[in-house]
Amino acid sequence: MKTLGEFIIEKQHQFPHATGELTALLSAIKLGAKIINRDINKAGLIDILGESGQSNIQGEKQMKLDAFANEALKAALEARGVVAGIASEEEDHLVIFGKDKATHGKYVVLMDPLDGSSNIDVNVSVGTIFSIYHRITPIGTPITEEDFLQSGHKQVAAGYIIYGSSTMLVYTTGCGVNAFTYDPSIGVFCLSHENVQFPSTGNMYSINEGYYSKFPLGVKKYIKYCQEEDDATNRPYTSRYIGSLVSDFHRNLLKGGIYIYPSTAQYPMGKLRLLYEANPIALLAEQAGGKASNGTKRILDIEPRKLHERTPLFVGMESMVNDAEKFMAESIE
């Protein structure tokens, strides 16, 4: 069975100018995932469950595992020497690595170290999301926020790790989506799903309907559309919502569906972060034949203005996202 390391090396020929740095970077993420996976699997036995007593820059309570996952990934990325710095949902500001790395590293990484961490206490699947860019500032100079504020279509690679009944690493370098399942008996990720594509049909929609009264009119109408009976379009659809973006997206990617986190009265710009969540998930969706939108515009075309910018997100099968966009366009309030 082909391992993740073997697969990455095999695919280097697709990048004629590759020098091995991206391979080293992905290996660092793989190492970080193993460390996080190890401690998640014994989270009830050691003191890393519950809240840390701190809040992140968005004012959200930080779980102990949020901080642990952030530090594990940060250390793994810095040790490789190819990353100039990172931006994280758990960091107030960008993190510039040691002087040599900051001036000579070719890449910057943005990440959500532990998506869905509020579910960890009840043993629900959680995940890590990552996004990789070439730096904009010249090699040999310090990195700046400009290196991180790039549109999603400029991503070099993106992916996620889902920690569930099995641990899987799913990633793309712009040449399709491939998934690797972790075999703890030998400590390696093995190729389990090659060239993943959304199914041609699907019948699941994922949205927190508890906020229905606060949704835009177009989203309300789309939910009603999903619930109506229509044999021609295989409706009604099935509602499935876990509350972890990685888990909901992963299920819909394999089974067929749409995930929606729209704007609400409390979060008029949406709740998900553009750089740490929406952009990497959008790149994966498009590479798997799907679509990602903020309701009116392609996610990957949005020009970010700040590190922790939020956005509504409609992502999944192209046909389902198109239908949702149509209801949004017809229901401008």
Provide the annotated binding site.
Answer: 89, 112, 114-118, 208, 241, 271, 277
CATH of the domain at 274: 3.40.190.80
For residue 216, is pLDDT > 90?
Answer: yes
147 CB contacts (<8 Å, ≥6 apart)?
84, 85, 108, 133, 135, 136, 137
CATH of the domain at 26: 3.30.540.10
Q: How confident is the model at residue 300 (pLDDT cuts 50, 70, 90)?
A: very high
Within this chain, do residues 167 and 243 fall inside the same structural domain, yes or no?
Answer: no
How many residues does the structure list for the chain?
333
Within this chain, do residues 45 and 101 fall inside the same structural domain, yes or no?
Answer: yes
Measured between alpha carbons, how far is residue 209 from residues 9, 105, 214, 222, 243 in Å? 44, 44, 10, 12, 11
Within this chain, do residues 12 and 62 fall inside the same structural domain, yes or no?
Answer: yes
Within this chain, do residues 133 and 221 fall inside the same structural domain, yes or no?
Answer: no
- Alpha-carbon distance of 57 to 54, in angstroms, equals 10
- Alpha-carbon distance of 149 to 303, in angstroms, equals 8
User: Does some domain include residue 161?
Assistant: yes
For 143-162, b/e burial (b = at least 16 CB within 10 A) is beeebbbbbbeebbbbbbbb
Edge-to-edge strand list for the sheet holding 257-261: 238-239, 204-206, 257-261, 313-317, 290-293
Quick one: pLDDT at residue 123? 73
Within this chain, do residues 38 and 167 fall inside the same structural domain, yes or no?
Answer: yes
- Alpha-carbon distance of 331 to 333, in angstroms, equals 6
User: Does some domain include residue 233?
Assistant: yes
Lowest mean pLDDT, pick from 42-56, 130-144, 244-258, 275-289: 42-56
Provide the annotated binding site for substrate.
Answer: 115-118, 208, 241, 271
pTM above 0.85, yes or no: yes
Percent of the chain's residues with pLDDT above 70? 89
Question: Which residues partner with 313 through β-bridges?
Answer: 261
pLDDT, greater one: 43 or 115:
115
Quick one: pLDDT at residue 50? 47
User: Does some domain include residue 82?
Assistant: yes
User: Does some domain include residue 133?
Assistant: yes
Domain of 246, in residue numbers: 204-330
Provide the annotated binding site for Mg(2+).
Answer: 89, 112, 114-115, 277
Quick one: pLDDT at residue 186? 92
